Structure 1
Amino acid sequence: MRATHVNVRSLGRAGWLLAFAMVPAGALAADPAAVSFSHKDWALQCDNTRACAAVGYQAESGDSEPVSIRLTRAAGPGTAVQVDLQVYTEKASPAALQVTAGKFRLTGLDGNSPQVPAAQVPRLLQELLRSEEAIVTAGKDRWVLSLAGANAVLLKMDEVQGRLNTPGAIVRKGTQPESTVPPAVPAPVVKSVKPIPARKGDAALAGPLLAAVGRADLEGQCNGGLPDASDVKVHRLTDRKLLLEVPCGMGAYNFSSLLFMTNDRAPYQPRLLEDVDGEFDPATGEVRSAMKGRGIGDCWWMRSWRFDGKGFVLTGEQGDSMCRGFPGGAWQLPAYVTR
């Protein structure tokens, strides 16, 4: 079976449960430099460094089994396009794949990790822009990759990376010097601080901390019923600060928690972390959130934060909102990256 599986608990704010189907990938990205764009069967995600990934799938209204192509390119002049393929089948993964697009034909691609050789990428790109579909085969098995939307998405990729009218552009080539292409934006550096070990008696604070939060605040945000002290988790952050993890929302296939930073003694003064949600890992100080777009789990959106000694800072955001039949999702496209 050829697919990417995401073994992570489905978490996310209750409001996201409905918003996911309507908000394009990357719309929640923390940095305005991150760009999302989609047209027909293709989509683009560029992160805050200007690195971009364009993906295409089988036609949503067609009868092809799931197939996808991913074109990735780092920012800056002279960078190459990398092309990866993926097919899904309930049979064993094919040993080798063949790709045909217009006059381009490539055989012998590794069925487990099909990547187009760098020397063949320019020819393939030409045919992707000229054709209506590309065919991937393995023996008698056949997948049809739609190219509807490819020109618009790849043109947008050139635009975001500042390549329009340069020799390195994918769609709109020109004679403007390659040196005019802007460089990559450095990824932000995040300070990460490991929480200190839990203390005896921390767990017993669940009841008082929950009482300090108050029922009124929880009633307005929790759709899964109000939790009691046995449902919440208390994590030690620093010598005097705690993190209260309150299970709050339940959807068809997503679950959400509210996170509060508090003092470890009265007055507790709980403060809701409004832009942070998910499950806390006390070993690393990381909060991870994963939101599944629909029951089959073929589209996800994920975020992560790290404790920096004072609060939580976004460290990563990635996903793919095109739900096209790959259990676990076909790709995770970065929208926000850090160091």
Structure 2
Amino acid sequence: MHKNTINTRLGLAVGLALLSNLSFAAEISGLHFIYKDWELACDNTGACRVAGYQADEYLDRPISLLLQRAAGGNTPVVGRVKIVKEQIPISSKQLEILMLGQSYGTVSVDEKTGEGKLSKGQTEALLKAVQSTQPIVWKADGLEWRLSTAGASAVLLKFDDFQKRIGTTSALIRKGTQSNDKVLKTQPLPLTQMKHYQRGMAKRLNVNDVQAKRLALILKKTTSKEDCWALYDQNFLSEDQITIYPLNRQNMVVEAPCWLGAYNYGYGYWVMDKSLKQIQQFVTTSASSFSEGQIFATQKGRGIGDCGTQDEWAWNGNRFVKTYQVIQAQCKGFVGGAWDMPLLISKVREVQ
């Protein structure tokens, strides 16, 4: 089973409503928001993560700050900093923080990850400093990393708005005197139970086989030429196949190539009956693979560091439900992204 859903990563455009057939009927929709050098991702439990980066003119020395806070009235804000591990000074693992012309001590960074945790006092001071126009400077052994504050206030205000904190004593930006009684409450992590999944041998058809062509005619009825042009134009590569995976006694999963781009490709996935005549569910045209009752989609963007998206679906005995979603929009020199910033997280458990 995929590590993302086993570990249920807690800590990327778009509001995301949870599907009603998750075992817990969550009411919180995920949120993603970017402004200048800052980015916000809030998930279906109500937790939010804010990431700030250096300005583009300092891309040779990447740095990112993560501010994370769960929903709930008096939950703390946890701050972490990250630099590219290859740039950690050999003689010192301590980064000194300079904010508004004053030193706020040091943060120790892990030599394997480049990450370090801020103290409560440093985090509180930083929340005030990022609302200024002055960059926050981190120093070690004569080197400097400059965290941009451009966009921070707008993103933090969105953070407060999502968690219904504006005007309350727990707000980050617009504090007030209102109590925290109506602040967004934390929602439990939803559970998707994988039921009645039966492993078996996959059947692979050349796209020019008679059966493959017959399947293509059925599959394209549930999608569009824009989303799955390969099915419509029959414009396949020589090695392309339509693959049929066993799902259970009644259903099969059909995988077909849909599109190919400069950096990405997309497969379509459908649940069909055993005779491959009826479509039970259309899932997506932008996934990458199927394995052990789950569908995975990983798409790259073309920002610095190859940002992108990740989505996952799991079979719950009746249909595939989305269990995980991340949009990594600003990598800014961190290959694959500096932090996990999900919009949707859940537990996935296989039930025999």
TM-score by length of 1: 0.81
Aligned to 2:321: 313
Aligned to 2:129: 127
Aligned to 1:83, the other structure's residue is in SS state strand
Aligned to 2:193, the other structure's residue is in SS state coil
Quick check: 1:269 aligned with 2:278? yes
- Check conservation: 1:97, 1:136, Cα contact below 8 A: yes
| Count of residue pairs the alignment pairs up | 313
Structure 1 residue 319 displacement after superposition? 2.3
Structure 1 residue 229 displacement after superposition? 8.6
**CA distances 1:79-113 after superposition (whole Å, capped 9, x unpaired):** 00011111126445662222222135221422432
Quick check: 1:334 aligned with 2:342? yes
Structure 1 residue 132 displacement after superposition? 2.0
Aligned to 2:287: 278
Quick check: 1:27 aligned with 2:25? no
Q: Report sequence identity in percent.
A: 28
- In 1, distance between residues paired with 2:238 and 2:269? 15
Residue 40 of structure 2 aligns with an amino acid whose one-letter code is: L
Structure 1 residue 258 displacement after superposition? 1.0
Provide closer, same or farther for how the CA distance between residues 208 and 99 of structure 1 changes in structure 2, counting only shifts above 3 A: farther
Provide closer, same or farther for how the CA distance between residues 168 and 64 of structure 1 changes in structure 2, counting only shifts above 3 A: farther
- In 1, distance between residues paired with 2:68 and 2:284? 29
- Check conservation: 2:107, 2:117, Cα contact below 8 A: no
- Identify which of 229, 233, 237 aligns with 1:222: 229
Quick check: 1:252 aligned with 2:252? no
Quick check: 1:80 aligned with 2:80? no
**CA distances 1:9-42 after superposition (whole Å, capped 9, x unpaired):** xxxxxxxxxxxxxxxx541634472222222211
Aligned to 1:38: 34
Provide closer, same or farther for how the CA distance between residues 194 and 330 of structure 1 changes in structure 2, counting only shifts above 3 A: farther
Structure 1 residue 194 displacement after superposition? 5.7
- Check conservation: 1:133, 1:145, Cα contact below 8 A: yes
Aligned to 1:52: 48
Trace 1:50-129 onto structure 2 (pairs within 5 A): 50-62=46-58, 64-88=60-84, 90-91=86-87, 95-102=93-100, 103-111=102-110, 112-129=114-131
- In 2, distance between residues paired with 1:258 and 1:135? 47
Structure 1 residue 159 displacement after superposition? 1.3
- In 1, distance between residues paired with 2:261 and 2:285? 18
**CA distances 1:224-248 after superposition (whole Å, capped 9, x unpaired):** 9326796232211001211111223
Moved more, 204-213 or 150-159: 204-213
Moved more, 235-244 or 130-139: 130-139
- In 1, distance between residues paired with 2:213 and 2:89? 54
Aligned to 2:195, the other structure's residue is in SS state coil
Residue 99 of structure 2 aligns with an amino acid whose one-letter code is: A
Residue 148 of structure 1 aligns with an amino acid whose one-letter code is: A
- Check conservation: 1:276, 1:305, Cα contact below 8 A: no
Trace 1:97-246 onto structure 2 (pairs within 5 A): 97-102=95-100, 103-111=102-110, 112-193=114-195, 195-198=197-200, 203=203, 207=209, 209-214=211-216, 217=220, 220=225, 221-223=228-230, 225-226=235-236, 231-246=241-256
- In 2, distance between residues paired with 1:69 and 1:176? 29
Aligned to 1:335, the other structure's residue is in SS state strand
**CA distances 1:195-239 after superposition (whole Å, capped 9, x unpaired):** 21215xx52677565233235939932359326796232211001
Aligned to 2:24: none
Structure 1 residue 189 displacement after superposition? 3.0
- In 2, distance between residues paired with 1:209 and 1:312? 25
**CA distances 1:52-92 after superposition (whole Å, capped 9, x unpaired):** 11111111244552111111100011100011111126445
TM-score by length of 2: 0.78
- Check conservation: 1:97, 1:110, Cα contact below 8 A: yes
Extract unaligned runs of 5+ from structure 1: 1-6, 9-24
